[in-house]
Amino acid sequence: MAFRLCFPKINISGSGSLAEVPGELAARGLKRPVIITDATLVKFGLVAPLLEGLKEKGIEAFVYDGVVPNPTVPVVEAAYKVFVDNKCDAIIGVGGGSPIDTAKAVRILSANPGPITLYEGVGKVAKAGAFLAAVNTTAGTAAEVTSNAVITDPVAQVKMVIIDANIIPDISVNDSAMMTGIPAATTAATGMDALTHAIEAYVAKGAHVLTDYAALEAIRLIAAYLPRAVKDGKDLEAREMMAYGQFIAGLAFNSAGLGLVHAMAHQPGAVKDLPHGVCNAILMPLVEEFNRPYAVERFARIAEAMGVDIKGLSIEDASKAAITAIRDLSETVGIPSGFAELGVTEDDFPLWVQKAQKDPCAPGNPVAATDADILDLYKKAL
């Protein structure tokens, strides 16, 4: 069966990469970009250098800085209004997954009729739309690489997942110098999201030799460098390696798919507005223990990539060591141990079970889960 490996045409990374963006727009004759970002990034002074660089090239940029974590349909509509009102000809997303997904949604509306809810699901975006550069500042969702955008529909209270190669950014940028100010809790949450991407992609039904190498290397880099980046945000080597780790995890999951961790994690993200990476991290050890018996050899490889010395261990014991290593890393970087301390109760679960079963990430899981399995896993995650 044909395997489709897709990612942006141009991917610029390394400390100082942000400075390349104005030249990329000038080279294409683009004159009026909208920059879609959030207020924190503006406050941290991370957008100003881009505005200066664009001005030096005679490019007038317009800024929408109203993005919030777990971005919603109204946020997309407000950002799109800035694009239309200023007759913009390009889109630059600056931030983590939230601004980048918002930028992808604006790109959809730049060439396809609204509302954005029309595009939930797979392959519904007919035209690619305006030029899109994605400047990623967390490590991370790899949203700067993927064919996906996650937008919360506040009416249906669901995180809509839009999946289409037409929304892959034209250019991805990973400038680790922009990441030194990420707060420790966000560093931990986004790093565990990246680890979830790599592990889910490695055990997914859609895993392929063309993504397995990336998934394993991402696991290795994240396990080695995430604790350092959480401990000292100014550790540039750790920030750089985390940026690479999350990026190649994105190369893996964008083509291999994800699984039940994401399908379940999207629900507290949508309904309780909890950080995406925290939801993944709480659920990951539980779901992967559920999956482990169906992918024992792969979990043994995951243990090895996480730095566990599996010499002398049976494959079964090595696979169990992977689950322990995931739990230990989550604890080391300070992820909350369960949903209860985040205001979740058992009353939330019946609806979440139904929504998780319908989430586009669910079919990628190596083993199908019944409603009862998912309910049991949510309860264990309290």
Ligand X SMILES: NC(=O)c1ccc[n+]([C@@H]2O[C@H](COP(=O)([O-])OP(=O)(O)OC[C@H]3O[C@@H](n4cnc5c(N)ncnc54)[C@H](O)[C@@H]3O)[C@@H](O)[C@H]2O)c1
Residues that bind ligand HE2 (CB under 6 A): 148, 150, 161, 163, 257-258, 262, 360-361
Query: Which of 89, 88, 98, 90 lies closest to 66, judged by CA?
Result: 98
Q: 323 is in the binding site of which of ligand HE2, Zn ion, ligand X, none (Cβ under 5 to 8 A by kind)?
A: none
Q: Closer CB to ligand X, residue 254 or residue 291?
A: 254
Listed in sequence order, the residues at least 6 apart from 331 whose beta carbon sits closer than 8 Å to its beta carbon are 337
Q: How far is the CB of 265 from Zn ion (least distance, A)?
A: 7
With 0-12 CB in 10 A as exposed, 13-18 as middle and 19+ as buried, what is 146?
buried
Q: Rounded to whole angstroms, how far apart are CA atoms 221 and 25?
A: 32
Ranked by CB distance to ligand HE2, the top (closest) residue is 148
Q: Closer CB to Fe ion, residue 102 or residue 110?
A: 102
Q: How far is the CB of 74 from ligand X (least distance, A)?
A: 15
Q: 44 is in the binding site of which of ligand HE2, Zn ion, ligand X, none (Cβ under 5 to 8 A by kind)?
A: ligand X
Q: How far is the CB of 161 from ligand HE2 (least distance, A)?
A: 5
CB 188 within 8 A of CB 331: no
> Which residue do the tokens 């983590």 mark?
96
Q: How far is the CB of 54 from Zn ion (least distance, A)?
A: 30
Q: 258 is in the binding site of which of ligand X, ligand HE2, Fe ion, none (Cβ under 5 to 8 A by kind)?
A: ligand HE2
106-115, long-range: CB < 8 A, 24+ apart: 106/34, 106/36, 106/76, 106/79, 106/80, 106/130, 107/132, 107/167, 108/149, 108/162, 108/166, 108/167, 109/76, 109/80, 109/83, 110/80, 110/83, 114/77, 114/80, 115/73, 115/77
Q: Closer CB to ligand HE2, residue 59 or residue 265?
A: 265
Applying CB under 6 A, which residues contact ligand X?
A: 38, 40-41, 44, 69-70, 95-98, 101, 137-138, 140-141, 143, 146, 148-150, 159, 178-179, 181-182, 186, 190, 193, 269, 276-277
Q: Closer CB to ligand HE2, residue 59 or residue 103?
A: 103
Q: Rounded to whole angstroms, how far apart are CA atoms 193 and 286?
A: 15
Q: Closer CB to ligand X, residue 201 or residue 303?
A: 201
Q: Closer CB to ligand HE2, residue 33 or residue 360?
A: 360
Q: Closer CB to Fe ion, residue 262 or residue 320?
A: 262
Q: How far is the CB of 262 from ligand HE2 (least distance, A)?
A: 5
CB 97 within 8 A of CB 150: yes
Q: Rounded to whole angstroms, how far apart are CA atoms 39 and 193?
A: 22
Q: 361 is in the binding site of which of Fe ion, ligand HE2, ligand X, none (Cβ under 5 to 8 A by kind)?
A: ligand HE2
Treating both helix axes as pointing N-terminal to C-terminal, what angle do 349-358 and 371-380 enclose, rounded to 10 degrees?
Answer: 120
Q: Rounded to whole angstroms, how far apart are CA atoms 334 and 187?
A: 10
Give the DSSP H/E element, type plus range, for residue 91. strand 90-95
Q: Closer CB to Fe ion, residue 35 or residue 100?
A: 100
Q: How far is the CB of 315 from ligand X (least distance, A)?
A: 31
DSSP letter at 93 equals E
Q: How far is the CB of 116 from ligand X (least distance, A)?
A: 14
Q: 41 is in the binding site of which of ligand X, Zn ion, ligand HE2, none (Cβ under 5 to 8 A by kind)?
A: ligand X
Listed in sequence order, the residues at least 6 apart from 64 whose beta carbon sits closer than 8 Å to its beta carbon are 34, 35, 36, 37, 78, 79, 82, 83
Q: 360 is in the binding site of which of Fe ion, Zn ion, ligand HE2, none (Cβ under 5 to 8 A by kind)?
A: ligand HE2
Q: Closer CB to Zn ion, residue 193 or residue 289?
A: 193
Q: How far is the CB of 186 from Fe ion (least distance, A)?
A: 15
Q: 149 is in the binding site of which of ligand HE2, Zn ion, ligand X, none (Cβ under 5 to 8 A by kind)?
A: ligand X
> Which residue do the tokens 């390696």 mark?
241
